[in-house]
Chains A and B, each alone.
Chain A
C-alpha cells in the first residue's frame, strides 16, 4: 500500500478509536445512573404501597439525570451513525427505560409508551440519526419490567397487599397479548419473550392463592 493510502486509513482509524473511547466514557457514566436506578427500585419489594410515592420521589431525580447522558451520547455520535454505535449503550438505555416504565406502572398502573419513555429520558426527535430509542430496546425494557413485576406480585402479598397481584396480572396479560402480536425472529428478544410465560405462571399462582383464600377484593373480575 502506498504511504498516502496508509495515512488515510490511519486517520480514519484514529478517529474511530477516539470516538469509541469517548462514547465508552459516557456509557460508563450512564451505566452508573441506571445501576442506581435499579438499586432504588429494588426497594419496591420491601416498601408497603403507602410509601411507594416517596420511593418514586427518590427515583425521579436520577431518572432526570439520565437526560445528561443521552444528550452527551447524541452529541458524540456523528450524523447517520446511530446504528453503528448503539450497541455500546443499549444495555444502559434498556435499564433506564425499564426504570421509567416500572415507575409509570407503580404510579398509574398503565404502560409507558415508547414516545413517552423517550421523552422521560430527554431523547429528542431531531436526534433520530444519532440517538434514538429503538422499538427493540423499548421491548427489551418491557420484558425486564415483567420479570420484575412477577417478583413484586409475590412480595406484595408478603407485605399484606393482596390487590397488587391482581393489578399486575391484568397488566402483564395485556402486555403479553401485545407481544404475541409480533413476528419475532430467532433473536434475544424472541428468547426473552418465550420466558415471559414463566413470569405469567408465577403471577397466576399468586393470584390463585390469593383468590382461593378470599384475600383479594372481590370486585377485580378482570382476571
Chain B
C-alpha cells in the first residue's frame, strides 16, 4: 500500500478499501442512531411512568411515599436503558466514541433527563456528573464511554421542564403546595447554575430560555396559590381538602397550566362557593 499508485488497477484496489471502510462507518453509525432512538423512547416512557405514578395515587398516600414509589418503578426501566448502553459500548470503545458521539448524544441526553428526574424525587438534589457516569459503567466501575460534559448539562436542562409539570400537578395534591414551592426554589437554582455555563455551550443557551419559561410558569402558580390561600384563614390541611375536592369535582387530571385550572375551577361556581361559606 505504501507506494505511489500508477495503474488504474492499483487505484481501484485502494478505493475498494475505502469503500469497505466508509461502508463500515456508515453501518455502525446507522446502528448507533437506532440504539440512540431506542434509548430516547425508553427514556420518555420512564418520564411518563414517573408522572403517572405521581398522579395516580392522588390523595391516597403521603407525598414522600408517592415519590419513592415512582422512583422504584423508574429504576427498573432505567436499568433497561443502561443495558442498552452496555450493548453499545463495544462499538464505541476507545477512540471510536468521539467519532459517533453526535449520533449517541440525543438518546444520552434523554436518558440523563429521566435519570435526573428519578434522582430528584429520591434525593431532592441534582444528580452529579460523577453519578451519571457511574450509572453508565459496568459492575467493576469501568465506564461504557466517557460522559461528555455538554450531554450531561443539556440533559439536566431538560429536567426543568419535567419539574415544571410535576410542580403544577402537585398543586392539587395533599401537601403538594409546599412541594411545588420546593421545586420552584430548585429550578431557580438550576437556572442560576446553568447561566454561568451558557457561554461555553451554544445549545445550553437555547435550552436556558425554555428553563426560564418553565420557571415562570411555576412561579405564577406559586403566586396564585399564595394569593388565593390568603383569602381564607385556614390551616393548610383544610385548604388541601378544598382544593382536592374542587379538582376532583371539576374532573381535572394532571398537567396543563395551573392558572387555567384555578380559573376554570372557580367558574364552576356553586359548590365551590358553598364550601367556602362553610369554613368562613
Asked whether, in the complex, the Cβ of B197 is within 8 Å of the Cβ of A83, the reply is no
Among A10-18, A35-43, A89-97, the stretch that binds chain B is A10-18
Inter-chain contacts of A112 with B (CB < 8 A): 4-5
- Find out whether the CB atom of B15 lies under 8 angstroms from the CB atom of A84: no
Given the known inter-chain contacts A135-B18, A135-B21, A178-B12, please indicate yes or no for A2 contacting B125, CB distance below 8 A: yes
B139 close to chain A: CB less than 8 A: no
CA distance A17 to B201 in the complex (A): 11
Q: Is A159 an interface residue (CB 8 A)?
A: no
| Residue B266 CB within 8 A of the other chain | no
Minimal beta-carbon separation of A57 from chain B (angstroms): 18
* Distance in angstroms between the alpha carbons of A8 and B152 in the assembled complex: 12
The interface residues of chain B lying within 8 Å CB-to-CB of A12 are 129, 149
Residue from the list A5, A177, A184 in contact with B11, Cβ < 8 A: A177
Q: How far is the CB of B83 from chain A (nearest CB, A)?
A: 24
Contact B4 A116 (CB under 8 A): yes
A48 within 8 A of B: no
A221 at the interface (CB under 8 A from B): no
Q: Which residues of B contact A136 (CB under 8 A)?
A: 22
Chain A nearest CB, measured from B231 CB (Å): 37
Mark contacts of B132-160 with chain A using CB atoms, 8 A cut-off: 1 yes-contact digit, 0 otherwise.
00000000000000000100110000000
Q: Are A111 and B193 in contact (CB under 8 A)?
A: no
Q: Which residues of A sit under 8 angstroms from B130, Cβ to Cβ?
A: 5, 8
The residues of B that contact A113 with a CB separation of less than 8 Å are: 1-5, 14
Q: Which chain A positions have C-beta within 8 A of B193?
A: 1, 6
Chain A residues within 8 Å of chain B by Cβ, number: 43
Whether the pair B11, A182 counts as a contact (CB closer than 8 A) is: no
Q: Is the CB of A181 within 8 A of B98?
A: no
The answer to whether A82 touches B197 (Cβ under 8 A) is no
CB within 8 Å for A111 and B4 given contacts A2-B126, A5-B126, A8-B129: yes
Cβ of B4 and Cβ of A114 under 8 Å apart? no
By the criterion CB–CB under 8 Å, are B128 and A4 in contact? yes
Asked if A183 is an interface residue, CB under 8 A from chain B, the answer is: yes
Query: Which of A80, A119, A177 is in CB contact (< 8 Å) with B94?
Result: A80
Which residues of A lie under 8 Å from residue B98 when comparing CB positions? Answer: 80-84
Residues of A within 8 A of B200 (CB): 13, 17
Binary flags per residue of B1-26, CB closer than 8 Å to A gives 1, else 0: 11111111011101110110111001
Q: Which residues of A contact B119 (CB under 8 A)?
A: none
Cα distance A177–B15 when bound, in Å?
9
> CA A49 – CA B197 in complex, angstroms?
58
Q: Which residues of B contact A2 (CB under 8 A)?
A: 125-126, 128
A residues 59-112 touching B (CB-CB < 8 Å): 79-84, 104, 108-112
B189 at the interface (CB under 8 A from A): yes
| Interface residue A19 (Cβ < 8 Å from any Cβ of B) | no
A184 nearest CB across to chain B (Å): 7
- On chain B, the residues within 8 Å of A9 by CB distance are 129, 149, 152-153, 197
B280 within 8 A of A: no
CA A63 – CA B130 in complex, angstroms?
Answer: 45
Contact B2 A115 (CB under 8 A): yes
* Bound CA–CA A4/B11 (angstroms): 57
**In the complex, A128→B98 CA distance in Å?**
13
Known: A114-B14, A116-B2, A135-B22. A128 touches B8 (CB 8 A): no
B88 interfacial contact with A, CB 8 Å: no
Q: Which of B8, B99, B152 contacts A174 (CB 8 A)?
A: B8
Contact with B along A103-146 (1 / 0, CB 8 A): 01000111111111001000000001100000110010000000
Tell whether A213 is near chain B: CB-to-CB under 8 Å. no
Chain B: residues with CB nearer than 8 A to chain A? 1-8, 10-12, 14-16, 18-19, 21-23, 26, 94-99, 101, 125-126, 128-130, 149, 152-153, 189-190, 193, 197, 200
Interface residues of A (CB under 8 A from B): 1-2, 4-6, 8-9, 12-13, 16-17, 79-84, 104, 108-116, 119, 128-129, 135-136, 139, 174-175, 177-179, 181-185
- 26 residue pairs of the A-B complex, CB under 8 angstroms, read A4-B128, A8-B129, A9-B197, A79-B95, A80-B98, A82-B98, A83-B95, A108-B6, A109-B6, A110-B4, A111-B14, A113-B2, A113-B5, A113-B14, A114-B1, A116-B4, A119-B2, A135-B18, A174-B11, A174-B12, A178-B11, A178-B14, A178-B18, A181-B18, A181-B19, A183-B23
What are the nearest 7 A-B pairs in CB distance?
A178-B15, A129-B95, A83-B98, A110-B4, A84-B98, A83-B99, A5-B128
